[in-house]
A and B are shown apart, each in its own frame.
Chain A
Amino acid sequence: MSQVDLIAEKIKLGRLLSLSPAALEQYDALDAATLRALREQISDSLFDDSRGMLERVASASRLLPNALVASVGERSFGPMLCARITGLLSPERAAALAAHMPDEFLADVAMQLDPRSARGVIAQLGKERVVAVAKVLLARGEHVTLGRFVDFLDLDIIAAVVEVILHEAVLLDIAFYIEAKPRISELAGLLPEPRLRALILHAGDGDGDTWVASLALMSHLNDDWRRRIGDIVVSEGEVFLTRLVDAAHAHDLWDAMLPIVGSMTDAARLTLAAMPALGRVEVLESVVRAAHRGRLWPDFLPLVAALHVDARRVAASVVEVLPEAMLLDIIDTAHAHRLWPALLGLVAQMTPSEARTALRLLVQQELEVLHALLEAVDGTLVSWGELLPHVDHLHDDDVTLLARVFEDPARASALSALRAAAEQDGRWERLEPLLTR
């Protein structure tokens, strides 16, 4: 969970226990997942604490007409106790009582309600009533409550509520409080393209915090939606993209950005990769750090492949000095995701003397991996001519490891290509005895 989730969870716990923001500072050491688990346990225990009496109240209420029960509920019990009793009534009864209560009071109850216990009632209330209560909550700026309910509403009801939300900033703010993150892709589907575009532009117009929150949100989208959003972002032009890259760098958001970059269409990724900001060493260093932290090498390598050669050289200078374990991670990713051309393109731009570690790790790979690597050299823009200067810095023993793969007759053409390139730059004399044993 992200920093945004943490903020949202603290607000929700504060509400449940009637704690001020200052009192909540005592729980700064807790992460969002712990806060959420704790909140749900507290909510259950508060309910259980008075369960016996609440059940008797629910039972006694059956003796009285709905209008009277609704009136007593509103005037004597108040929103908190009504919220607790809701889960003990049948959905039909609860909805019948709600019909006698004003929207304002139902909004009060919604703020206290544990939505887990109210799914059936909400379904019984009907779309129009839910929208009316949502409007009250919107007018109060109750985005936390609205976000909590998103998890429990049918999509057609959510669509109706979204229609009455006029400002993108509000939509974004409510989305931050949604707990069921997998639903975010479904919800994105409710937005027509112009609205989605406006939402993304709003994120770009905001301050750093808005970017942080928006990108955290986008990281919960599925691949299809990341691709669509990536394309929209790129179509907004250089100024917007530069702002995005700057924000990702300034706020260390590459772990949220990289999955979007990885899901973009090739054309969109090329446009993003052409941004001058992405050629800065400190930016690429933070990209590499995020890729390592989040194990996002499958998203990192396509970005590297899309970079302009000068920027790729900068990326290569960052990668060539990484520890062996990280380089092995990258090699494993290139093999598992068939991203050899991207990795070899990166290796080709490394400083020959610095590339030794990466190259040694490559030639030490299993035979099957070496075959896949050679196929990539055969079929891509990376030529032996670019790679051979690096081989000068490899020990003979390591070069000999490559001979294993050339023993396979299927690699005859690759060996010919290597030989032609090596003869041209005067390296074949050294390589021949090592590779053609």
Chain B
Amino acid sequence: MNASTASQETLAALRAELGAEPPEGLSALSDDALRHLLDSIRAQKAQQRAALDSAITQGLTVVPTLLRGAVRKILFKGG
């Protein structure tokens, strides 16, 4: 693989983000495209976390008061 130093760094970040060795074929991408891919994955994860936080906050409001404490305990480990 003849990747530039920038690509090598981005590939290493992708490896960390994916938690696995990225497919070999990714070496065909330019530095910019690799960076775009990494940013897109990070953005998607951030969006997912935000959606999850908001869903939990909103969901808790409709849980019956009597059960809300127990549910919060499971969700936030006693928080």
Contact = CB atoms under 8 A, between A and B. Distances in A.
Given A29-B29, A41-B18, A50-B49, A16 B44 contact: yes
A30 B26 CA distance: 7
A416 interface: no
Contact of B23 (A19, A26, A38, A84): A38
B55 A63 contact: no
A43 to B, nearest CB: 10
Contacts of B52: 50, 53-54, 57, 81
Contact of B51 (A38, A68, A81): A81
Contacts of A17: 40-41, 43-44
Contacts of A49: 45, 48-49
A351 interface: no
Interface residues of B, number: 39
B25 A31 contact: yes
Q: Is the interface of A mostly helix, strand, loop or mixed?
A: helix
Nearest to B71: A60
Interface string B51-79: 11001101100111001001100110100
Interface in A1-58: 16-19, 23, 26-27, 29-31, 33-34, 37-38, 41-42, 44-46, 48-50, 53-54, 56-57
Contacts of B56: 53, 57
A76 interface: yes
B13 interface: no
Given A38-B26, A41-B23, A59-B74, A72 B62 contact: yes
A59 B70 CA distance: 11
B44 A46 contact: yes
A368 B47 CA distance: 68
A313 to B, nearest CB: 44
B20 A41 contact: yes
A31 B27 CA distance: 11
A42 B25 contact: no
A265 interface: no
B51 A78 contact: yes
A30 B71 CA distance: 45
A281 B45 CA distance: 56
Contact of A46 (B48, B59, B67, B74): B48
**The 4 residue pairs across chains A and B that have the minimum distance between CB atoms:** A34-B25, A60-B74, A76-B59, A37-B23
